[in-house]
Amino acid sequence: MLTMNLAFLPLARPTFDIETANTYFAQSCELLKQQVDGCRLPEGLLMSPEEAGAFLRQAAAETELDAVLVQATTFIDARFILEIMDATEAPILLWGVREPRVNGTRLSLNSMTGINNLANSLVAKGRKFALLFGNPAEEALARELGSQLKVLSLVRQLSRLKIGVIGDQPDGFLFSGADAGMLAKLGPQIVELDLRQAFDRANELSEAEAQAAVEAVSGQVKGLELIPPEGVMKFARFQTALQQQIQELGIAMVAVRCWPEFFTDYGAAACSTVSSLIDQGVMASCEADIHGAITMHIQRQLCGSAPYLGDLVHIDETKDSGVFWHCGAGAFSLARPDTGAVAGLHPNRKLGFTLEFGLKPGEVSIHRLGPDPSRPGEYRMLMMKGDALDEPQKFWGTSVEVGFRQPVVPLMKELMRQGFEPHYSLVYADINEEMNILCDWLDIRPVVLGEA
């Protein structure tokens, strides 16, 4: 069940079939009780603009609303929506219901004309909205309502989030940065954390204070006993210190400058900390990739499972596939079941600990949020689908081979032609419907390559 602050406004006029309207109202309330914890429901149909406005203002006074669901249970005029717009700035979902009978007699509800009237007024006033149509007992309507509410909850969440950026982007990694003004349109606020101070905080911790972090991963990662103990303890100290900062500052996700200072100054790899945080639900990106972390956070909130951020490093025309890889980061839960997540050393720096595994097979969605070159100051979202193949680890580090369901060479060239960032985030779920809804609410241009 979704937890959000939602107000439901079933609007009606007494000159229509109120008996049927009341039936729809009761069914709608039951549906909302099943889907939402925190929905404000009126005692009955709201039959005047003043009644609708009073109910909404009372709901808004009690809590900050995440969204308003406006059902034209019968035909209503534009005064209703003008009153609603005046009462709240919260996103508005319009809901139209079907005629109960089409038999050559009375037009019972005329809900469709009602939502048409409301939509006309919303557009005229420049207010963004989304539209639902169907009866509350319909499964398709329930699914669409659930998707819309999940996205609207995420939109509100994004407006309040903080992303911790630990150190600057590595030299030459221009795509990893973000413009604070642009980012404000989505909501997340950047909290800059000094990397050297983070090292100092970690080094100040005793082994006893950090031991819990070792114990937490020991049952999830194989081969820890083969890693030099000082490398494992450095992971534990940094992870513990960073988790303390995350809690102190109210940070929801982090983007970490993972090289070169992690190796040269701290003497360990950041990969294990990044991987562990992702499995705990705190999205973490390598190479201080801000939009990469946000992409991961969006995916995690929409599907509830860990994403994987990687470079596209290899293609195979015979299978129309490509390999996504990173040097040692990946949520432990994504490892192939037959190998599990294995502790290792960084392939270039020979410091630990990192992760060594191929990712599990399954259907995946691939995304990337970033600036839109065709609309300066705005965002775009890459959207692709594929299948993580049942293949072993391809390179040292973590990797997954994905079949793209389309010719891979033209796809690779199109990714380059459009200048997408070289960090792609994939997740084991089909969330493109919800991602399209999110793009619509936040004015992000979706770029779909392949099947929608």
Chain segment 314-348, per-residue pLDDT in tens:
999 999 999 999 998 999 999 999 999 999 988 77
For residue 105, what pLDDT is reported? 80
What's the rounded mean pLDDT across residues 201-218? 95
Which tokens hold the place of 296? 């991961």
Confidence of residue 452 (pLDDT cuts 50, 70, 90): low
Q: What angle do CA 367, 371, 372 make, to 5 degrees?
A: 90
Against a cut of 0.85, is the pTM above it? yes
Query: Residue 93 half-sphere exposure, CB side, CA atoms within 13 Å?
Result: 25
Give the pLDDT confidence of 373-428 residue by residue, as tens digits: 999 999 999 999 999 999 999 999 999 999 999 999 999 999 999 999 999 999 99
Q: What is the mean pLDDT of the chain?
A: 96
Residue (of 359, 349, 250) closest to 309 by Cα position: 359
Give the pLDDT confidence of 139-161 residue by residue, as tens digits: 999 999 999 999 999 999 999 99
For residue 396, what pLDDT is reported? 94
**Residues in Cβ contact with 38 at an 8 Å cutoff, skipping those fewer than 6 apart:** 3, 4, 5, 6, 63
Give the pLDDT confidence of 266-307 residue by residue, as tens digits: 989 999 999 999 999 999 999 999 999 999 999 999 999 999
CB 427 within 8 A of CB 365: yes
Crossing angle of helices 290-303/139-158, nearest 10°? 150
Give CA–CA dist 294/132, Å, rounded.
28
- Spacing of C-alpha 140 from chain mean position: 22
Asked whether residue 66 carries a pLDDT value surpassing 80, the answer given is yes
For residue 103, what pLDDT is reported? 81
> What is the torsional sign of CA 99, 101, 103, 104?
negative
For residue 61, what pLDDT is reported? 95
Confidence of residue 215 (pLDDT cuts 50, 70, 90): very high
For residue 107, what pLDDT is reported? 83
